[in-house]
DNA sequence: TAGATTGTTAATCGATTAACAATC
DNA sequence: TAGATTGTTAATCGATTAACAATC
């Protein structure tokens, strides 16, 4: 399994998009170069940490000058794979699914949702945020024929495993799972779980601390 | 600021709910006690880590036996403040707001959403998932009069700061922010940001790795 | 009693931060 | 040249994991 390449730490991966967004704003001000300390000051990160994060993308800077903003934007986008569009489908057009479908910037994040699926006959054929809703029976064939890379699961927890199996059957490469259940998949399939309420226990803990003091 | 009490590590806080859910399932099987190794095996955590996490709640176990399940459930709920209900409001009844309003188990997480707010006149007076939608003009007064503790922000990013200021004006204690912007608040107000797409760059990175190999 | 499990202290690991040489 | 910034190595910090004594 070990191939000599250290995996990029998850905290770094999570920070990279915020660098990208800042650089895109900076580019609009006609700046050409930027240093780690400027980025760090803006985003409240340690400059050394910024430098290390950026190095994972393979960017090379200039001493005394900093990084070329255009090059840096490209490097981050390429590193995350956001320069090439992967076709995706979304399964489960409830309110969460609708919210995800409504996100306008997936194409800038390497994703294009080409269709949505649901099991409710009343929804089939409707168009939500520009995507047609197809019946869930057609998922496997659709994934296979359209070479879909990513499946986004926004169905209720009970349905998530069945949907997963259908996606896998069609040859999906990665699953972005918003349902609060663990999915079982073959080892070569990427599963990334997204917890809508992930940070809530931290809020709870802080809130209960101040409520107790009172 | 330092008061001799070490803050509980965020990773531990994030794991506590999963212990709770497992214990609640276990309770239904009429088990009375449970050990760290059983919990760890189920949730794929190191047993020592489980023990350390649980100790933050103040629970005391019995050697050779384990922890009393009922006591442990209570300890986690009390520790997170999920035993007492805090009144909350939600602001921004778009698709994301509707999805959050539709979550059925907030009362088991110490929260009760008592009303929702929006600025769209067509939505005012409607009832979504049992909550009436009120006009945003009434937020500050509502927070003050109803002693609302938590404000959930699901408005578009442009509107998030204005909404925040209105909540603060009314005397809110904590803000759970789903908008992708940094909010400025007085130092005594808790802000917890929730990023709907937090794990997406990790999926991107893994996906681009396998696409490159191909 | 013997052995399983807790509670606690020590070791390890990984990420963050500091130090500093190289460089433009 | 002088000084700011990168690139890199070392130190620190915090979380995880291992070791082990206490205990029921």
pLDDT band at B214 (very low <50, low <70, confident <90, very high): low
- The two counts, helices (H) then strands (E), for chain A are 8, 9
Q: Would you state the pLDDT for residue A5?
A: 66
Residue with minimal CA–C1' distance to C4 is B64
- The string of pLDDT tens digits covering residues A18-37 is 999 999 999 999 999 999 99
Instruction: For A49-104, give the DSSP string.
Output: HHHHHHHTTT---BTTTBEEHHHHHHHHHHHHTTTSPEEEEEE--SHHHHHHHT-T
- Rounded mean pLDDT, A136-164: 98
Confidence of residue A212 (pLDDT cuts 50, 70, 90): confident
Q: How many Å does it take to go from CA A71 to C1' C24?
A: 19
Query: In a 10 Å sphere around its CB, with 0-12 CB exposed, 13-18 middle and 19+ buried, how is residue B159 labelled?
Result: middle
Whether the predicted pLDDT of B3 surpasses 60: no
What mean pLDDT is predicted for residues B75-93? 97
- B29-63, pLDDT tens digit by residue? 999 999 999 999 999 999 999 999 999 999 999 99
Q: Of A22, A1, A3, A141, nearest to A73 (Cα)?
A: A22
- For A84, the closest chain B residue by CA position comes to B208
- pLDDT of A154 strictly over 60: yes
**In this predicted structure, what is the pLDDT of residue A111?**
97
For position A1, what pLDDT does the model report?
Answer: 37
Question: Strand pairing of A150-153 and A131-135?
Answer: unpaired
Least confident of A9-13, A210-214, B117-121, B160-164: A210-214
Q: Does the CB of B63 have a partner CB in chain A at under 8 Å? A: no
Say if CB B134 and CB B128 are below 8 A apart.
Answer: no
User: Can you tell me the distance from the alpha carbon of B150 to that of A170, in angstroms, rounded to the nearest whole number?
Assistant: 43
Return the minimum-mean-pLDDT range out of A5-9, A164-168, B42-46: A5-9
What is the percent of chain A where pLDDT is above 90? 95
The whole-number pLDDT of residue A3 equals 46
Q: B129-184, pLDDT tens digit by residue?
A: 999 999 999 999 999 999 999 999 999 999 999 999 999 999 999 999 999 999 99
Alpha-carbon span A33 to A42, nearest angstrom:
15
Q: Which residues of B touch A105 (CB under 8 A)?
A: none
Place of tokens 């955590």: B45
Selecting from A96, A198, A205 the residue whose C-beta is nearest the C-beta of B99 gives A96
In sequence order, which residues have a C-beta less than 8 Å from that of residue A60 and are 6 or more positions away?
none
Instruction: Band the pLDDT of B6: cuts 50, 70, 90.
Output: confident
**Nearest C-alpha of chain B: how many angstroms from A61?**
22
Q: Report pTM.
A: 0.94
Distance of A126 CA from D14 C1′ (whole Å) = 51
Closest to A180 measured CA to CA, from A195, A191, A200, A202: A195
The pLDDT, as a whole number, for residue B5 is 66
Q: In 3-state terms, what secondary structure has residue A195?
A: coil
Are A139 and A133 within 8 A, CB to CB?
no
**A214: pLDDT strictly greater than 80:** no
Q: Cβ of A171 under 8 Å from any chain B Cβ?
A: no
**Rounded to an integer, what is the distance from CA A95 to the centroid of its chain?**
19
The string over A31-51, giving b where at least 16 C-beta atoms fall within 10 Å of a residue's C-beta and e elsewhere, is: eebbbbebbbeeeebeeebbb
Cα(A126)–Cα(A132) distance, rounded to whole angstroms?
A: 6
Residue of B13, B99, B204 with shortest CB distance to A99: B99
Q: Does A95 touch chain B (CB under 8 A)?
A: yes
B84 touches B145 (CB < 8 A): no
Length of chain A: 214
Provide the CA B83 distance to its chain's centre, in angstroms: 14
Residue B137 is given by DSSP the state G
8-state DSSP, B105: T
- 8-state DSSP, A136: G
Query: What pLDDT, on a 0 to 100 scale, did the predictor assign at position B213?
Result: 73
Long-range CB pairs of B134-143 (<8 Å, 24+ gap) are B136/B91, B136/B163, B136/B166, B139/B89, B139/B91, B139/B163, B139/B166, B139/B167, B139/B170, B140/B166, B140/B167, B140/B169, B140/B170, B141/B170, B142/B89, B142/B115, B142/B117, B142/B170, B143/B89, B143/B167, B143/B169, B143/B170, B143/B171, B143/B172
Q: Round the CA-based radius of gyration of chain B to a whole number and report it.
A: 21
Gap from A62 CA to D4 C1', Å = 11
Residue A203: predicted pLDDT? 97
pLDDT at B143: 98
User: What are the chain A neighbours of B16 within 8 Å (beta carbons)?
Assistant: 201
* Average pLDDT over every residue of A68-80: 97
Are B206 and A174 in contact (CB < 8 Å)? yes
User: What whole-number distance in Å separates Cα of residue B193 and Cα of residue A103?
Assistant: 18
Choose, out of A204, A209, A211, A214, the residue to mutate when testing the contact with B (most B CBs < 10 Å). A204
Tens of pLDDT, residue by residue over B97-131, are: 999 999 999 999 999 999 999 999 999 999 999 99
pLDDT level of residue A6 (50, 70, 90 thresholds): confident
Q: Which residues contact A164 (CB under 8 A, 6 or more apart)?
A: A151, A153, A175, A177, A183, A184, A185
pLDDT at A2: 40
Q: What is the pLDDT of residue A213?
A: 74
């Amino acid at each position: 399994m070990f191939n000599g390449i250290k995996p990029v730490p998850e905290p770094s991966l999570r920070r990279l998009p915020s660098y990208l967004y800042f650089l895109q704003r900076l580019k609009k001000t006609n700046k050409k170069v930027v240093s780690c300390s400027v980025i760090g000051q803006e985003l409240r990160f340690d400059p050394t940490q910024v430098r290390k994060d950026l190095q994972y993308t393979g960017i090379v800077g200039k001493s005394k000058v900093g990084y070329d903003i255009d090059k840096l934007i490209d490097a981050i986008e390429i590193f995350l794979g956001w320069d090439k569009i992967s076709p995706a489908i979304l399964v489960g057009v409830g309110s969460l699914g609708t919210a995800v479908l409504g996100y306008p910037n997936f194409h800038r994040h390497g994703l294009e949702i080409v269709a949505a699926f649901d099991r409710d006959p009343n929804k089939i054929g409707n168009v939500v945020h520009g995507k047609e809703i197809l019946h869930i029976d057609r998922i496997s064939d659709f994934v296979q024929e359209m070479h879909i890379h990513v499946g986004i699961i926004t169905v209720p927890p009970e349905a998530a495993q069945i949907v997963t199996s259908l996606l896998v059957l069609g040859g999906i490469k990665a699953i972005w799972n918003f349902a609060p259940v663990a999915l079982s998949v073959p080892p070569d399939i990427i599963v990334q779980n997204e917890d809508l309420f992930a940070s809530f226990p931290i809020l709870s803990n802080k809130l209960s601390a101040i409520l107790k003091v009172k």
